Each structure stands twice: as structure tokens, then as C-alpha cells.
Structure 1
Amino acid sequence: MSTSVNMYNYHVENLRGLDKAIKDIQYVTKQSIRSGNTQKNLDSFKRIYTFLIAAWAETRLDKLLCEMHTFSDSAINIIKNQDSQLHKWLKAVELSFKQHHNITSKKLTKDNIGQIHFDRFKALEGVLKNELKAIIEVRNKLAHGQWLYPLNRKSNAVSTNIYQALNNENHLSLMFKFNIIKNLSDIVHNLVISLPTFERDFSQIFGKIENAQRNLLNRKYEDYVQKLVENSANGKLNLDM
């Protein structure tokens, strides 16, 4: 039987493997863009990238739950028993705040954790319900073979919202969303492991999330493609974002 230490190491190695896979798909996609392939021709890469980001988020939470001095066994069971990856992340954030404020009540409010922490709690919740939720929903459809047409729960019609969400994604938007999810996981990790570290670093890390969110709204994929092609022509192959 695997020990908790072994399970933690497995999650660490899985996360490293996913990091490498994401870097590989980023590299291949950029090379394909530089070669002149249109966004439509990159659809398979986009779907693989989306799948990997969601898998990374799931594994990152698994790793967190295996770390020493995080949650109690009962809290871990509560998180694991949530019905979706999104709800697991939401519950992990909620229980983290409750743990640090010694709260047993069902609801977090500005009165029991203070206005500043309540605002931070709602901000993290908002990121989870937006960027992470969208990635998870698309991944679930892809995992069930709904590669081009995601279906609704009854599998009797196309899920219009998820279909549109997937087709609106591109390599640039997925890079920003992965950046958001990575920084979000760092904040949650700090919250669980060390409240002083959370307090010290929250504004800096959340600022990175807000910057990525602004880029999602303002950065144009067409401009990104043009810049990649121009840099390729000039021999500069390491442009990220």
C-alpha cells in the first residue's frame, strides 16, 4: 500500500510531467503558428492544451491535499467528496479561511473573518467560478470524446455555451488562463500552509492574476500571431506573451 509520502511524491512527479507536456504543446503550437497555420488548423493543439490545463489544476489540488500541515483528515474528506473539481477547489478555499480564523459556522462573512479577508475570499471564489470553471467544463466534454461538439447532460443536443467557449479559445487566451490558474494555486497554497506568507504575498500574486485577466480582454490574437511571425523572421524564437 502506498504511504502518504509516496502519494505526495506521485503527485509531484505527475505535476512535473504535466508541466513538461504543457511546455511541449506550447512549443509545437508556436512553431505551427510561425509556419503560417491558421487558427482553424490549430484546433487539435487547442483542445489538447485545454485538457492539459484542467489536468494540471486537478493534480495541483491533489498535491496540496497530500502536503504536511495543511488540512485535517476530516477536511480533506470533505474536499474530496465534492461532486466536481470546481467544487473541490471552492471548498478548499473556503475551509482554508475557516481554518485560519477558527470558524466552524457554515458561512463566511465579513463579520467573522473581517472585511479584508472576506474581500479576498470572494475574489478567489470569483476567479475559480470564471476562468477555472470554463476550463474544467470544456475538459470534461473532451474527455468523453466530444471533441468537436460538446453535448448537454442528456446528450440529446449540443451544449451551446461550452461549444462557443471552446471555439472562442486560442493559444494566447489559454496561456493567460493557465497563468491565472497557476497564480491562483500559489495563493491557495500560501493560505493553507502559512497565513503570514499569504498576507505578505497576496497583493503581488493577485496582481498577476488581474494583469492576466486584463490581457484576456485586451490582447488580440491576431497581433500575437503577427508578432510571432515577425520574430521568427528576425530569428527570435523565444517570445512568450
Structure 2
Amino acid sequence: MALTGVVEQKIMPDANTHKHYEAYVKNVQDFLIAEKELKRTINRALKTGKTQTVEIQTKLYALLYSTFSESRFMKVILTPYGFEQTEVDEILKQPSNLEKWLKCLELAFRKFNQTKKGSEIPNKKLELSRIIEAYVLTPSILRNKIAHGQLTVALNSKNTSLNYTITGKIQALDFVEISKWFVINKSLCDILEELIESPNKGHFNNYYTRFQLLESFISRTKKWTTETKMGTNKMKKRPPQRLI
């Protein structure tokens, strides 16, 4: 239901950037195809007990996730009829990946009707920023290490000593956990896109339903791991059937 008296902002970024948006639409589609194929590869390796293949492919899966996340983010901020070009530029000039996401969140809520309850915007920003930090920042740190040649053992930022904390996190990467990151990221970006493109209609009508579904998924899958997946009937090896 539309809000009476509310006029949605309909401003495109610079016309030259629309082709960039279309490029990221294609990139995101292909990332999702790649994700599906890599999941199949890892599942086959799990079923056949190829532990080394699982370990290596899981690290590549983590790398794929973070590059997908970057592509999905660019699609979000270039959403047609969303940010003005000056806002896109302001987001992209931020010095870190996390700061880009948080600036996007800040600018998106500027579009949200300021007549809302006083606590509504701060609470929503806090809810979403926590998810961004947990499911965008942390994976991106591991991605940076892997992308810079530290596939198994991580070093500090100056490459002068070993980083045992990050090394432990790389070695603990879990296939099922990363697959959850993809689902969470897609839901988060859907929320952001709607907030940017339709702050006082789509966002107003759908935010709490979307957010509750996202929170429910995070809570419901909290204990899901590759180990628990291997205990499911789908992954258990079945004895060969005798031909009669």
C-alpha cells in the first residue's frame, strides 16, 4: 500500500554508469552460476571422501563469496532510480570495503521519510550494520589473505610475521557456513536495494518481513556445519543395490 502524500525520488545516476549497472547484473548472474557449480564439486568430493579436494575447494568457495559480494554491492549502489551520481561517488571514495557498505547504508536511510518514529532509523541501521560486519567484513579479511597468496598460512599486514589468528580462521573455513553467507548476502542486498529504490513504499511495506526472514535463517542455521551436513540421509553413503 502506498503512503499518502509521499513522492518517491526517481533520479538516475549519470547516464554513462547505466551500462556499468547492466554489467554488474550480468556479473552477479554469472557468479551465482559459478557458486552452484562449485557447490556441486564440493558436495561430490564430500560424498566420495576426497578431503583434500574439499579443503582446497572450500577456500576457493570463500574467495568466490567475497568477489560475489563486491559485485552484488556494486549492483546495489548503481540501482536505477536510486542514488544520485554524487552519492555513488561518495560511497566509492571510502577507504575500505566496510566503510563503503556503511556509507551506502547511511545514504540510503537519508531517503527514508524523516517523519518515521525517532528510534526506527537508528534501530534499522544498527540491525543491518551488524549483519554487514559479520557477513561482509569478516569474510573479506580472509579473502584478502587468500587473494594475496596466503592460501593456508597467513602473515601480518607488513608480511613480517605469521598471523596465527587469521591462519586459524582460514583453516577453519567451512563449506556449509560459506553457503549460508551467500544466502544472507543476497537477502541483505535485496533489503538495501528496496531501501534505495523505494524507501517510502517498498521498504516501508516489506522491511520487517524481509528482516525477520533473514534473522530467522541466521538463527535457524546457526549450528549448521559440514559435519552436521554429513550426518543427513542425503549425504550418507548407501550400500549398492543388488540386481534381481
In structure 1, distance between residues paired with 2:99 and 2:213:
24
**2:27 aligned with 1:19:** no
Shift in Å at residue 101 of structure 1?
4.2
**2:93 aligned with 1:93:** no
Partner amino acid for 1:218?
K
Partner amino acid for 1:229?
M
Q: Which has the higher contact order (CA 8 A, sep 6+)?
A: 2
Shift in Å at residue 164 of structure 1?
2.3
Partner-residue secondary structure (3-state), 1:198: helix
Shift in Å at residue 27 of structure 1?
0.8
**2:221 aligned with 1:209:** no
Name the larger-Rg structure: 2
Among 211, 229, 233, the alignment partner of 2:235 is 229
* Partners of 1:180 and 1:209 within 8 A in 2: yes
Partner amino acid for 2:75?
K
| CA 1:113–1:43: 2 relative to 1, 3 Å | farther
In structure 2, distance between residues paired with 1:234 and 1:136:
41
Alignment of 1:88-127 (within 5 A): 88-101=100-113, 114-127=118-131
Shift in Å at residue 79 of structure 1?
0.4
Partner amino acid for 2:163?
S
In structure 2, distance between residues paired with 1:136 and 1:19:
18
Partner amino acid for 2:66?
A
Alignment of 1:152-231 (within 5 A): 152-195=156-199, 196-227=201-232, 228-230=234-236
Deviating more after overlay: 63-72 vs 216-225: 216-225
Q: Name the residue aligned to 1:105.
A: none
**2:93 aligned with 1:81:** yes
In structure 1, distance between residues paired with 2:88 and 2:226:
40
Aligned length: 224
Q: Name the residue aligned to 1:70.
A: 82
Alignment of 1:26-37 (within 5 A): 26-37=39-50
Shift in Å at residue 169 of structure 1?
2.1
Q: Name the residue aligned to 1:106.
A: none
Shift in Å at residue 76 of structure 1?
0.9
Partner amino acid for 1:211?
S
Identity of aligned residues (%): 21
CA RMSD of aligned residues (A): 2.3
Q: Name the residue aligned to 1:238.
A: none
Structure 2 length-normalised TM: 0.83
In structure 2, distance between residues paired with 1:234 and 1:189:
48
Structure 1 length-normalised TM: 0.84
In structure 1, distance between residues paired with 2:36 and 2:121:
35
Greater helix fraction, Structure 1 or Structure 2: 1
